Chain A
């Protein structure tokens, strides 16, 4: 009897230690997987950055020479003074900013109405907006090309802005509905008592309060239009070429300037990276709310 009671704590201790060991193994496995995933995701970008900073001769050997003294910024300086690169860059900025502004102005007004008014077909409208997202861009590329050419907007910045707005606006509305729905209705009621009309409620109360959500959505809209390659490739040829299309052009038929391609790649990716880092918390919140609240 006494032996049994003495054994019990020992057995309990063994069980505890085996559970702790299992938990430790699980943590290690998880960390290793995360590290592998990070390497898989980051390695191309790191290698691209390395390529843009080192002379090609130092890298195109069996044992690449990564001596920091070899780092050169010549490729960046050259590219940022080359009009054939600066024009697409400016085009991308104009298209990105314009699309974002149009999407935010139209999207916030539309989302506010959907969030605050109960009307027949509200849910269908929201679902319809998501359905648009499910249509592959490639299916619409040819009709869009024909449509823009017919309206004289092929290879124009306006054509690109209209096209991007059509694709991004439903997503913007979907996300913003979640943010506006989160605002307590009593705030708007207080504003009504204080003498605000609907537009003033939106501009003075709802928009400032949903500012983090609006910022996240705006960044997402900008990133999407800034980094699009496919539509820009199909709908432009020379005048309205954007940065991703110009970057891809460094790949020649017979030869390739790796350093120039890598430098252009880094310049294209940096704004996206910076914006994504700044807004990652808001973007995740926005996406989750959009998904749950709709």
Chain B
């Protein structure tokens, strides 16, 4: 088991004036035994970061330490880690047994021990019956398990996963995700998992690294990431449906009008003229306008999902999504009253996107 420490890690592609910085000054520590996800959209530098930890890509600046030992100048096989690739990267010319045992053979582990570990890994992942098959004769799920078994058989200090579930269909993905969580609980090895799927990151991880455009946006527990997003990017990226993020202008002390509409919200403790206000759709509610009440907006789209319905409201100058439980009787064009009573208010700096609190708001 091992902890991983990134200290000011940078990655540039190209040289001189043509150099493009793909990863900016990453500094954080992944604790021993933690399952940490690197989450972000395509091109945010999460796979590059994983490759730098693995040693598949050189770092341009900073240091990477595993178990307190600097590893960024070591070859990948000297870092004692296993890597599960997005496309599984199974050797097509070897059978499953040879695929799982290849890394052990290259490390000159004796034959009996190799066989014992191969069978043990295969048993854990329930692929003992396909040990003699070639990868092309396996289903996607089985290939995925072989890739995992290959990593397990090595018994490394660190497991690295590069979107290992993205090639599976939805049902198998959910099932494998649960199995992966069980496997981590069983092995307890430090794991770094790259994904662009927030659900995967939230369900699997002890902590999440959210990245955007090569920068660290937030490093925290799934609870923190969801309930206290550090930046507007994190707020918009995590949560389904997406958080409503709208410009809000102060209309009176502590009261803000959202998106230039008549819908106003009390924001205590923030003292800024303009803010970006975030409200989670599932924390807001909507009800038909009563006699003599002034409507906040009209229903524009209703999307029933079975257990909930997403209702998109037109507030006049902007759209606002509300998730309500079950099916709804609301129809397109209905005037409605929007309420953010009890919802957590997320305020962000309209210029930098950083989270505002009463202390730093001006």
Contacts and interface: CB of A to CB of B under 8 A. Distances in A.
B28 interface: no
Interface string B86-112: 110111110000000011001100000
Nearest to A207: B93
B89 A187 contact: yes
A283 B75 CA distance: 38
Interface string A236-259: 000000000000000000000000
A121 to B, nearest CB: 17
Contacts of A187: 89, 91
A289 to B, nearest CB: 17
Interface in B325-360: none
Contacts of A208: 93
B77 A184 contact: no
Interface in A153-194: 184, 186-187, 189-194
A189 B91 contact: no
Nearest to B78: A195
A209 B81 contact: no
Interface string A51-95: 000000000000000000000000000000000000000000000
A250 to B, nearest CB: 47
A165 B194 CA distance: 48
A186 B85 contact: yes
Contacts of A194: 77, 102-103, 106
B70 to A, nearest CB: 19
A193 B91 contact: no
Nearest to B86: A186
B89 A184 contact: yes
B20 to A, nearest CB: 15
Interface string B64-76: 0000000000011
A209 B92 contact: yes
Contact of B103 (A184, A193, A200): A193
B56 interface: yes
Nearest to A188: B89
Contacts of A186: 85-87, 89
Contacts of B92: 209
Contacts of B85: 186, 189-190
Interface in A235-292: none
Interface range, B side: 20 to 34
Nearest to A189: B56
Given A186-B87, A186-B89, A209-B92, A192 B106 contact: no
B87 A195 contact: no
B106 A200 contact: yes
Could you tell me the dominant secondary structure of chain B's interface residues?
loop
B77 A195 contact: yes
A276 to B, nearest CB: 26
B87 A192 contact: no
Given A189-B56, A189-B83, A190-B83, A195 B103 contact: yes
Interface string B203-220: 000000000000000000
A8 to B, nearest CB: 43
Interface range, A side: 10 to 19
Contacts of A184: 87, 89
Contacts of B82: 193
**Most central of A195, A200, A211 by chain B CB within 10 Å:** A195
B299 interface: no
A209 B93 contact: yes
A234 interface: no
Contacts of B83: 189-190, 193
B311 interface: no
**Most central of A190, A191, A195, A208 by chain B CB within 10 Å:** A190
A191 B91 CA distance: 9
A101 interface: no
A110 interface: no
A129 interface: no
Contact of B81 (A190, A191, A193): A193
A18 B295 CA distance: 67
A200 B91 CA distance: 14
Contacts of B89: 184, 186-187, 189-190
Contacts of A141: none
A215 interface: no
B54 interface: yes
Contacts of B77: 192-196
Interface in B104-145: 106-107
Nearest to A190: B89
A195 B83 CA distance: 12
A184 B81 CA distance: 21
Nearest to A187: B89
Contacts of A189: 56, 83, 85, 89
Nearest to A205: B91
A209 B90 CA distance: 12
Contacts of B106: 194-196, 200
Contacts of B86: 186
Interface string A194-213: 11100010000100110100
29 contacts: A184-B87, A184-B89, A186-B85, A189-B56, A189-B83, A189-B85, A189-B89, A190-B85, A190-B90, A191-B91, A191-B102, A192-B76, A192-B77, A193-B56, A193-B76, A193-B77, A193-B81, A193-B82, A194-B77, A194-B102, A194-B103, A194-B106, A195-B106, A195-B107, A196-B106, A208-B93, A209-B91, A209-B92, A209-B93
Given A190-B83, A190-B90, A193-B76, 6 more contacts: A184-B87, A189-B85, A191-B102, A192-B56, A193-B56, A194-B77
Q: Which 5 A-B pairs have the closest CB atoms?
A: A195-B106, A194-B103, A195-B77, A190-B89, A186-B89
Interface of A: 184, 186-187, 189-196, 200, 205, 208-209, 211
